[in-house]
Amino acid sequence: MQMIALGGTIGVGLFMGSTATIKWTGPSVLLAYALAGLILYLVMRALGEMLYVDPSTASFAKFATEYIHPLAGYLTAWSNIFQYLVVGISEVIAVGQYLNYWWPGIPGWISGTVIVVTLCIANLVSVRAYGELESWFSLIKVVTIIFMLILGALVILLGVGNHGHPLGFANLWSHGGFFTGGFKGFVFSLSIVIASYQGIEVIGITAGEARDPQTTIVKSIKSIVARILIFYIGAIFVIVTIYPWNQLAQVGSPFVETFARVGITAAASIINFVLVTAAMSGCNSGIFSSSRMLYSLGLKKEISDKFVKLSRHGVPILPVLTISIGIFCGMLLNEILPFFIKSSSNIFVFVYSSSVLPGMVPWFVILLSQLKFRKLHQAELQDHPFKLPLYPYSNYFALLALLVTLVFMFLNPETRISVLIGFVFLIVMTLIYWITRKKQTV
């Protein structure tokens, strides 16, 4: 479960998106990652408190239905499906681009097809096969970041790769100060930083399939948040300390340059391999998470009962196939659109970023559900070993922080369209919910 959560959270957003967040706020992006990490911690503790009592598969959608409203559960499930479907498509396309580094003649649709079929088979075999594959993907990313932290420390403290002259920490406050973008730039960066953490709530989906759910849940949530914070903040700290923040656009990939700086000439190939595994990991997590949400919708009779049929290994076959086919179709659409629409390169960027708001829906749901959960389960909470600290103020703080982030995403021209697309998706799904309910009651 810990490696699954790491795989779902540490992805190409860290390896490729760090430069974009730094440009808005400079070195203070470290505080943005720390604040987002605090919000993440509160969300996961709220989820952990509920999971300890009821470790159900697709738990946060189930909690939304029970403690808020059936509409909340419906929107949570479809938001999760939408988010991971879009992310899965983008990751498959990314793999094709990364493989072109070694084999530039291979069309993207061929490599994409191989990736989708491979991951689909892995998810169909068993939960164990999925978990083992995700563990290896996550291990590669984690080892890469650990090596980067070690190499960064050698450059900063001992001057390795800098003719023996330690770089020190001056880049953290030089070149315009620590908060180069002011308060507005800091909050703008926070929206992208928070989005990069999305996916850790997949622990809630794997909980029902763990052998000893209560023990595993507590252990996983306690350690996973700390590990992700260390990897994210540590990696970003190395980047903004070694390289002036306003020169990162010319550096290319900070990860590649950090390895190259200490004499590792194969740095580009190494990082490219890591990016391939990171993208496959993101797609793998997407297939698993969204297929379980489809399964939960089948259990609630929201979709055909064919979606609840399990293989002899306990895998929901039709949901896995449906998501895999959806990712495959999205990948093909991305290949075909440039022949018909000249500006199609921007279309996919908008669609991908539109997953940010739906990706926040599970967090809102978890925090709101836990408020009601605490009132209804007072007896079970008497000897509960994993209660959310500072309830209910923790909930209110995290909810307010997420709302403020959404407001600033709307104010930011670069993220405004993504928020609007997310709102449109939620409005459409809400209308579908009420229309289908009305038909059922007639």
- 310: domain CATH number is 1.20.1740.10
Report the distance separating Cα 31 and Cα 233, nearest Å.
9
The token pair at 369 is: 């559900």
With beta carbons less than 8 A apart as the criterion, state whether 193 and 29 touch: yes
Contacts of 368 (CB under 8 A, 6+ apart): 64, 67, 68, 72, 395, 399
Long-range contacts of 72-75 (CB under 8 A, 24+ apart): 72/365, 72/368, 73/300, 74/297, 74/302, 74/429, 74/433, 75/361, 75/426, 75/429, 75/430, 75/433
DSSP 3-state of 310: strand
| pLDDT beneath 50, residues of the chain | 344-346
Q: Specify burial of residue 113 (Cβ count, 10 A radius: 0-12, 13-18, 19+).
A: middle
With beta carbons less than 8 A apart as the criterion, state whether 258 and 155 touch: yes
Integer angstrom CA distances of residue 200 from 34, 85, 278, 306, 371: 16, 16, 15, 29, 21
Residue with tokens 């330690």: 166
- Tell me the HSE value of 80 on the side-chain side, using a 13 A CA sphere: 35
Instruction: State the amino acid at position 143 in one-letter form.
Output: V
CA neighbor of 394 nearest in space, from 40, 9, 111: 40
The token pair at 262 is: 């200490």
DSSP for residue 386: S
With beta carbons less than 8 A apart as the criterion, state whether 13 and 193 touch: no
Total number of domains constituting the chain: 1
Q: Given this model, what pLDDT does residue 442 score?
A: 53
Report the distance separating Cα 303 and Cα 310, nearest Å.
16
Determine how many CB atoms are found less than 10 A away from the CB of residue 265: 9
- Tell me the HSE value of 97 on the side-chain side, using a 13 A CA sphere: 12
- Tell me the HSE value of 173 on the side-chain side, using a 13 A CA sphere: 3
Max distance between CA atoms of the chain, in angstroms, equals 79
Report the distance separating Cα 414 and Cα 67, nearest Å.
35
Residue 34 C-alpha from the chain's centroid = 16
DSSP 3-state of 21: helix
Report the distance separating Cα 403 and Cα 368, nearest Å.
13
The token pair at 349 is: 């960027």
Bridge partners of residue 310, in order along the sequence = 316
Residue 36's region, left for phi above 0, alpha for psi from -120 to 50, else beta, is: alpha
DSSP for residue 211: S
Report the distance separating Cα 57 and Cα 74, nearest Å.
15
Q: Given this model, what pLDDT does residue 10 score?
A: 65
With beta carbons less than 8 A apart as the criterion, state whether 217 and 224 touch: no
Residue 39 C-alpha from the chain's centroid = 14
Q: Supply the angle between the helices 356-376 and 70-99 in degrees, to the nearest 10.
A: 140
Q: Where are the beta strands (DSSP E) in 106-155?
A: none
With beta carbons less than 8 A apart as the criterion, state whether 205 and 130 touch: no
Q: What is the reported pTM?
A: 0.81
Report the distance separating Cα 74 and Cα 77, nearest Å.
5
Determine how many CB atoms are found less than 10 A away from the CB of residue 379: 7
Q: Given this model, what pLDDT does residue 205 score?
A: 60
Q: Which residue range forms the structural domain that includes residue 146? A: 2-441
